[in-house]
Amino acid sequence: MTATAYYIDGVRVPIGRAKDTGYYAHTRADDLAVRSIRALLERNPGVPADRIDDVAWAATAQVGDQGLTLGRSLAILAGLGKTVPGYAIDRMCAGAMTAIVNAGNAIRVGAQDLVLAGGVEHMGNHPMGAEIDPNPRFLSDKLVDPTALVMGNTAENLHDDHPDVTRQRCDEFALLSQERTAKAQADGIFATHVVPVTVRSPEGWRVVDVDEHPRPGTTPESLAGLESPFRPGGRVTAGNAAGLNDGAGGVLLASEQAVEEHGLTPKMKMMDYAFVGVEPETMGYGPVPATRKLLQRNGLTIDDIDVVDMNEAFAVQCVAFLDAFDLPLDADKVNPYGGAIAMGHPLAFSGARLAMQLATYLDRNPDAQRGITTMCIGLGMGAAVLWERA
């Protein structure tokens, strides 16, 4: 019989901009992750640090301050004790999401009771694609089109495949992301899982405690005036796509036995998940077949889902998702607190943020029973996780 994996809590640092004037320009990636882990355990003092069974932590660029078997490094750096193991994960944008389902699976089969799972991406220290060397056979053997290796180009390709997903509709969705994020900030939604961080800058030390990326003054006119960097007359712009960002965070998952032993209060439980492959040239479509597979396997329809937290890598993939499930552009149950277009997308970290926001929604909406976190993944994949109120 499969045991239950419970989501207990989630903590993240404020998301910064990946630039030399951004929050974390002078901060190490692993230190951001350590801050998240320590804060998570401080908020759950009933959990002894040395009782953590594993630390599953993701990064897309597993080099430099994001390398050295990240999960194990973080266990030592965060003071969990040298008996606590850990490992590193790379599934590009779905790194933390993969860490979470791996941790959940370890609990469900009875192998572990308490697991920390999350991700970190310091895109300022490790620009996307700067430290990779794709096998030349990808292109020489025509395994993928060259556009598959540039995420912005894959978004333009998705526009080509879905002409009903117009630039105007994508800009409208992007504006909605900014508006919903601003409202969520004002309502204290993110305060439930964002912790302050002390950072160093040329001007000295300071504390940051809110996400750096949102642009609350965004207007339809300002979005319409932006040009695409990916092709002449393109439809993907800096305004309707996620930014380049730095961030870290993770969640605490527990077994029923650990919940009882340590007096924990579960917020939701992990029910099922799906990962799928799609055409690399249109990787943004991944959430659609992943969500369909998940729903079909569980005998559900999208109407049975009370909330969807979807990573907004590009507005085009979000609008295509909404169309695929016959949902309106402003569907209340999809990204009710905004998303990555406003907040930013530090690659391997983002899946942890989605889980935190979904848990917060369930906590604040007692009538909501089920939710899905979903995202597209570079090189042509999609992921979706089904959660239920605990």
Catalytic residues: 93, 345, 376
Instruction: Report angle CA 61, 377, 345 to the nearest 5 degrees.
Output: 65
Q: Which residues contact 241 (CB under 8 A, 6 or more apart)?
A: 152, 155, 313, 314, 315, 341
Length of the chain: 390
Please report how many Cα atoms fall inside a 13 Å half-sphere around the Cα of residue 144, on the Cβ side: 21
Are 166 and 209 in contact by the 8 Å Cβ rule? The answer is: no
310: phi then psi, degrees, rounded to nearest 5: -115, 135
- Structural tokens at position 376: 């597209």
Contact criterion met (CB below 8 Å) for 177 and 342: yes
Q: Concatenate the DSSP letters of all residues of 277-326 into one string.
A: E--GGGGGGTHHHHHHHHHHHTT--GGG-SEEEE--SBHHHHHHHHHHTT
Of 243, 284, 269, which Cα lies nearest the Cα of 388?
A: 269
Report the SS3 class of residue 381.
Answer: strand
3-class DSSP state for residue 223? helix
Which structure tokens are listed for 299?
């005998």
Closest CA relative to residue 340, chosen from 218, 174, 224: 174
CA 348 to each of CA 26, 158, 316, 343, 375: distance values in angstroms, whole numbers, following the listed order: 20, 22, 20, 15, 11
Nearest-angstrom CA–CA distance, 279 and 52: 38
- The neighbour count for residue 132, using CB atoms within 10 Å, is 10
Whole-angstrom distance, CA of residue 61 vs CA of residue 137:
22
- Strand 86-89 relative to strand 54-58: parallel, antiparallel, unpaired? parallel
Q: Are 209 and 14 in contact (CB under 8 A)?
A: yes
Cα separation, 75 vs 50, in Å, equals 9
At 198, is the secondary structure helix, strand, or coil? strand
